[in-house]
Structure formats: C-alpha cells, structure tokens
Structure 1
C-alpha cells in the first residue's frame, strides 16, 4: 500500500501536540515540569542498547514503526532498525517515532534526551457535569495605540469579577468568554455556543468544552472623553453588566442555565468592584 509520508510527518506533528507525556512513574504528567526526560546521548555517546530496550518495551506488540525526522525523511521501518537510524541522525535534528495508529510516541531531541507519551484521544462532545462551576473569563487583548494601556488597569478588576462568578449555574455551559473590543474598527460579534474549542483547558487537555462566547464594544466617542483610569474602568464594567442580556434568550443552547441568578451575581460582582473604583 502506497503511503504519503509527508502527510504522516504532518500527522505526527499534530499528534505530538495532543500527546500526554509520561512522568518518571510512567503515568501521565500533569504539567510540563513532571515530564520525564531520559538521557540517551549523541553520536559516539549514543546509548543504542538502552534505546533499543526502551523501544522494544514501549512498543512490544508492534513490528513496524514510523520514524519521523522531516517531511522528506519519514519512513515505516522494522522496529529493530529504529535505534540505529536514530543514532545516525539525532545530532542533526529532533526525531519522533510512533506506531501506525499514533497511539504511542517517543520523541528524541538533538540534545540527546527523549520522552515517552501516549495519545488517549479526546471527545468531540462532552456533557457538562452537574456539579461543575462556570468559568467566566474576560479578554482585553484586542487593542490599538490609543487603548493599549486600558488592560493594564482594567484587568485586575475583571479578575475579581471572574472569581465571584465561579459558581454552579446549571445548564450546558462550562465556560463563558467575553471579549472587550478595544479597536475602534473592530465590530463586536453576538453570542455563540461552541461544543469544543481549540484552546487548552489544562496541560493534559488541549480543548475547552461547552463555551459561550461573545464580545462587546465601547462607544469610542464616549471613551475618548473619559480622562481618568477609574472612569474608564467604571464605564467598561457598566457595559459588561448590560452585555449579559445576550444570554437571556439562549435557552436552546444553554439548557436549564439559571440566568436570573447569574445576572444577579454578575451585577453584584460588578457593583462590588465599582465601589472600589469610586
């Protein structure tokens, strides 16, 4: 069967970024610092017997493995030959090896160390658990020259509101993202509900599930007239309070989400922050 090895190399790179890397106890690492890197050496110091043993144990039921060096240097070879090929090339480039289903990987770096990982797969759709709190997040990263300083004095107050809203409101939504558009020519977008987003929710999960997302845009004529940091923050927080009406007619997407309680908590959290600013 003909194989497109350039595509296989691309698939390896994609799976690499979704891989669960293992710690020293052969368990999935919960953060980058726990990932276990083992020394294997380079050139004359390359520990071929060690690498052979690791490959044999890790891929014990496989006869052939993909050796992924570059788009033009990717191949399917007998497992017994892999360590020798790595020894020849590792001082030049990083090298990955994986089984044909991409379920397991070993990634070798040109520094002479390697790590092992497994691909467990990720759900395309996930139901929100009944006891899960809503994660509200505000974003102010779309800016222009005249608004570039606003995030530096607004974000600390937004974090306080986020913290107060970390509660269980039921329904389908796990995360609510609200963007504050600080570019005058940028148009806001209405509420949308996405079942899976390519945004890591943790080190071990590259996706965020059940996300509500919309943006708001200030009146720039009014914003330009506000002369103090506190007045700008007060105005934008008031705008946020008004914006949550976006959720009031989203019953189909949000299920039994308790909008009334959420709205009350949202307003209370905003008022608490405004009392600090006044």
Structure 2
C-alpha cells in the first residue's frame, strides 16, 4: 500500500505549515509503504489548512471513504496522471490557533500526533477493507514517526 499525506491547500495564514510539513509528510509516507493486507492499495490523508473553507462548508472535511478507482483525468488542461485503484481517503482538521502559533518542531509533532489519533477510523473500517491490518499500520506509524524524531503520544498536545 502506498501512503500519502497532503497539506497542499492553504492560505497566507497556513502556508508556513504546508511548507514545514512537506518533507516530514513525504518521508512518513515513504516509511509507511508496505503490505497491510486487505483491499486498500492507496491511503491518502489530507490536513485541512483552510479554516474559512471548513467554516463555510461543513462538507469540506471528509470522513473516511473508500473508492475502487480514482481517475487521474485532469480537467484543467494539466497532464493526466495514472488512475489509482482502491483508495482510502479522509481529512483531518487541526486546531487552527495551534498550527499558526507553534514553531516548526512542535508544529510537526502536533500534526503527526493528530494524524495518528485520526487513524482510529482505520480500526473501525478494517473489516470493510477486506481484512486491512490497521493495528499493524498504527504500530508502523509510531515507529516511523519516532525514526523521524517525532514522538507519538496517546493524546494530542
């Protein structure tokens, strides 16, 4: 399974957050690639960085969904990318006051812990995902985070 974390939709208030998370997200995704059983081939987790969008549209925060095929078709004239199959996808809402006031190391640690806490949704969905081993994924998440220097605790800062 390929794992991707995204924090790419931001505004001036949160652009520093997206920049600070780019490399840690890339490395964490790389470390979490592997076989967890089940049907899911891709897991995409988005960190919502537009507070105004969430306030204006309650539907902008996506709960977990599983799609058999996500089209790589581009509507904006950009080159198409390959379709992705069996994608699990959801978004996470941070405390906007925290992410705009924390320094980089504390910010990254906060977000990593927030995302770890959010992975409990995978425990709830693992049977529907054909036996996906969410426990192993969460254990690997903790190990990968620690290897990058980010301690995962049982509760978010």
Which secondary structure state, in structure 1, belongs to the residue aligned with residue 3 of structure 2?
Answer: strand
- Runs of 5+ in structure 2 lacking a partner? 55-60, 74-78, 152-157
Q: Moved runs in structure 1, 4+ residues, more than 4 A?
A: none
TM-score by length of 2: 0.81
Q: Which residue of 1 aligns with 2:71?
A: 198
Q: Which residue of 2 aligns with 1:233?
A: 108
The structure richer in helix per residue is: 2
If asked which structure has higher relative contact order (CA below 8 Å, sep 6+), I would say 2
Instruction: Choose 1 or 2 for highest CA Rg.
Output: 1
Which secondary structure state, in structure 1, belongs to the residue aligned with residue 118 of structure 2?
Answer: helix
Q: 1:217 aligns with which of 93, 98, 107?
A: 93
- Number of residue pairs matched by the alignment: 140
Report the Cα distance in structure 2 between the residues aligned to 1:142 and 1:258, rounded to whole angstroms. Answer: 30
Q: Which residue of 2 aligns with 1:108?
A: none
Q: Contact 2:14–2:100 (CA<8 Å) still a contact in 1?
A: no
Q: Which residue of 1 aligns with 2:58?
A: none
TM-score by length of 1: 0.47
Report the Cα distance in structure 1 between the residues aligned to 2:100 and 2:26, rounded to whole angstroms. Answer: 24
Q: Report deviation, 1:148.
A: 1.0
Q: Contact 2:126–2:134 (CA<8 Å) still a contact in 1?
A: no
Which secondary structure state, in structure 2, belongs to the residue aligned with residue 249 of structure 1?
Answer: helix
Distance 1:196-1:275 versus aligned 2 partners, 3 A rule: closer
Q: Contact 1:193–1:253 (CA<8 Å) still a contact in 2?
A: no
Report the Cα distance in structure 1 between the residues aligned to 2:129 and 2:81, rounded to whole angstroms. Answer: 23
